[in-house]
Structures are given as C-alpha cells and as structure tokens.
Amino acid sequence: MLVKFFKTEANGNPLGGLNYLLHDNRNATPEVLIGNPDVTRELLLQNEFTRAYTSGVLSFEEKAQDVDFETQMNLCKSFEKTLLAGLKEEQYDCIWIRHTDKKDGRLELNFHIVNKELTTNKRLLVYYDKIDRNRIDTWKSLQNDIYNFSDPSAPDKKRLTAWNNNFRDRREAVKLINEFVLDSYVNNEIKNQNDVVELLKSIPDIEITRITKNSISIKHPDFEKNIRLKGELYERTIKEPETLAAEKERAQREYEENREERIRENKRKLKQLNSSLAKKRYHHFAKFERIDFDNNNSANGIGRLSEREVSREQMARMQKLHSNERKQGLLLDRLASIREQIEQPELEEKPSEKYEQEIKTRLEKVRYESAANQLVIASSVRRIATAIREAIKTLRERTQELEEIIFFKREQRLDESRTTERNELRAEEQHVREVQSSEVLPTDHNKKSAGGGITL
C-alpha cells in the first residue's frame, strides 16, 4: 500500500476533485464509505482560498475482495487521525470514496478534505510535503507491516528502472531510455552513475539537467518539463547483476525478520509526530474566534446577521449534518427496509421496541433531509448574491478603467497640442532668423570688397 496526494491547480474548479472521484463512468461505480457528498459540495462552493481541497489515495496492490470491509474502515479512520492530528471530527470535512475499477481489481481508498477549519472558517493546511512526508511515510510503513500489505519500500519491490508519474508520450520516451540503459547494463557496459550519464549524453537532443544520489534528470525539446529517471540503474552506486540479486535476497530476509521491531519503532515515532502536530494545530486555531453554534441556529435571525455571520451559521448547520451522517452511517440504504416494515400489518397493533427505534431513525432522516434542503436553498441565495456583488464590482472596475482611458486620451491630446504649438513657434523663430540672416549678408560682402581682401 502506498499513499499518494493529487496535485490541485491554484484557483481551479473547487468541485473538480470531488466530481472526479464520484464520476460513475468507470468499470465499477464509486462507493462513498464515509462522509456526505452534498455537504462537501456546499462547503466547496463557499471556498475563499486559492486551493479549495486536498485529495489523494491509499493505493493497494491487493484486490478489493482481499481486504475486508472492517480493515478498510480502520485504515480510513487511522489515516484521518494521522493526517488531521489535533482536530476533532466537527472541525473538518473528509469524505472517503472507494474505487475498484482498475483492470486488475486493485483496491483504492480515495480521500477528499476541504481546506477549511469549520469552527473558525480559517484555512486548514492539510498536508505540506516537506514537513508531513516523514509522518505519512511512517504511518504507511506501520500499516503495511501490521496488515502484511505489499510494501513498495520492501527490498524485493525495488526495480532497476521506474516509470514515476509519466504518461502517454513521456511514458513511451522513458520506456525507450530505460530499455537502452538496461541493455547496456546487461552487457556490462556501465559500472557507475558517471557511465550512465555519458550513455544518456550519447542520445540525440538529450541534456542532463540534474544528478542526485538516487536519480538523473534529463531535458528533451519534445517535452516542456524535465524527465526524472529513477531506479537502481540511475543511482550513484550500481552493483553487478549477480551481486545485486544476492544482496536483494539478503535484504528482503532482514526486512521480514525486523517486522516486529519496525512496528514498535514506527508506533513510537508516529505517536510522537502526531502529538507534536496536534499541539501546533491546537495553538494555531485557538487564536481565532470560534463559531457559537447554539446562539446562531435561529432561522428568524438570519436577516439581522451580517454576511459573515450568515456564512458561519450555514457552516454550523453543515457541520452538524456532517457529524450526524458520520455517526449514523448511510441512512438512505435503510429507508426502503424501514418503509416495508412500517407497511407490515402485524406491526399496526403493537409496535416492538425495534420498530419504534426505526421510526425514530426515519424521523431523524426526514429532519435531516429538510435541514439539507434548507441548506441548499440558503446556499443558492448566497451564491446569487455573491454573483450580483461580483457583477457590480466588475462594473465599477470597468468604469474606473474607462475613466482612466478618457483621462489619458485627454492628456495625450493636450500633449499633442502643446507639441504642435512648440513646433510652430520654433518654425517662426527659424523663419525670422533666416530673414535676418539674408539682410545681413549683402552688407558684409560690400565691406569685404571695400577693404580689398579677406580679413583674417
């Protein structure tokens, strides 16, 4: 199992990630395990930040049927606890969506988190690679050891070459380069990283841009971004084929023997890292004013609240709905069976305790749907108001731009007028000088003639 975070575009479509994860144009329909897509969607539509969400996947080599449902749920909750350390469930919105549509039936548990702390409406930094990678890798290693999942960090999973995240033409180019280098390795033509660098330089149009301990980056005019070549063949130290096979087998035995020790160490390390992050997040959000859910739940008071307070009230409602959804599970799947039991004649005379409980559950579901509908309506009104404000703002900006253009045009005409006047004045002065010069020249000529020569 590995953990991968998806890239998100700055100022991109806030619903892009959620729509992709829920898109049903797949071999197998996506399944929502935890969370409520409607609540998540409303939160995303209220986005005020450069990036509205953080999303990623727990990707398994194992097939979906080989990992029982309880284990999948435990992994989701454990990952949430690590990634969002220091936060309670009501402070964030996280939805889990299962994919099983890959050709080989591999299991994928996708997570999607809104980048907003719900009790303060402040930005929530879910994951920062340079700081959080070590913590997430520790969690990944721990879960792989506990559940005996296929571990990409295991020695027997290490490959001579790797594909990385290259697709289409880039993937084909990397494939050809890998085959070229691998062929040279098999023929004992390369012994170290320097030999690989020289080999790559012999390929037309290839430029070496970066060399690290574990990789070589190249540039090719057909691709806008550089290509990073990874794998044992691109590392600083390259072993001979026979030596490499023996060392890999020995390393794998040691890796399996140290499993229990690794589990103990990773548990200790993860607890320490999570505790440190939890303290930082607690002190960070403690600085901000928190939403008072109890005093902001009156529908009659919405008209008297400021726009910010209305937004907070809607956030509070969504938070409560989301919390109820997580605690009660998927109520929609239960509604049909409850309706059937209500219609059964034997229950009309004397309902059982189970029947009474199911009626209560149904009533809660009805109230939930009513609140959700109110939420959608309020959100729609707010979006329309926001659109109107944006239109007015745009109109003002364009009016200001037009005024500036008129001002600059007026100044330009004045400058042209001044330039014309100056040119005309210079022309008149030049004409006067020419006239005066023509009157002086004959007199000088007469004086020269009378003197009998040129005076030096």
Residue 175 shares a structural domain with residue 247: yes
Helix (H, G, I), strand (E, B) or coil at 209: strand
Residue 132 shares a structural domain with residue 247: no
- The one catalytic residue in 20, 255, 355, 368 is 20
Q: Is residue 432 part of a domain?
A: no
Owner of token pair 């609140």? 371
Residue 38 dihedral angles phi and psi, to the nearest 5°: -65, -45
Residue 128 shares a structural domain with residue 204: no
Residue 20 shares a structural domain with residue 121: yes
Q: Is residue 294 part of a domain?
A: no
Tell me which residue of 290, 297, 438, 376 sits closest to 46, measured CA to CA: 376
How far is residue 379's CA from residue 313's CA, in Å, rounded to a whole number?
11
How many domains are there within the chain?
A: 3
Output the pLDDT for position 33. 95
Task: Judge whether residue 451 has pLDDT over 80.
Answer: no
Q: DSSP per residue over 243-308, as a string?
A: HHHHHHHHHHHHHHHTHHHHHHHHHHHHHHHHHHHHHHHHHHHTTSPPP-TTTS--GGGGGGS-HH
Low-confidence winner among 61-65, 319-323, 426-430 (lowest mean pLDDT): 319-323
Q: Is residue 192 part of a domain?
A: yes
Residue 124 shares a structural domain with residue 207: no
- Positive or negative, the CA dihedral 133, 135, 137, 143 is negative
Q: What is the length of the chain?
A: 456
Output the pLDDT for position 350. 44
- Residues of the chain with pLDDT > 90, as a percent, come to 39
Half-sphere exposure for 90 (CA within 13 Å, toward CB): 13
Domain that holds residue 243: 168-255
Q: Is residue 412 part of a domain?
A: no
How far is residue 170's CA from residue 229's CA, in Å, rounded to a whole number?
11
Note if the pTM is more than 0.85: no
Q: Is residue 427 part of a domain?
A: no
Residue 280 shares a structural domain with residue 236: no
How far is residue 38's CA from residue 295's CA, in Å, rounded to a whole number?
25
Q: Tell me, yes or no, if 368 is annotated catalytic.
A: no
Residue 113 shares a structural domain with residue 207: no
User: For residue 55, what is the domain's CATH number?
Assistant: 3.30.930
How far is residue 159's CA from residue 161's CA, in Å, rounded to a whole number?
5
Q: What is the mean pLDDT of residues 400-418?
A: 76
- Positive or negative, the CA dihedral 236, 240, 246, 252 is positive
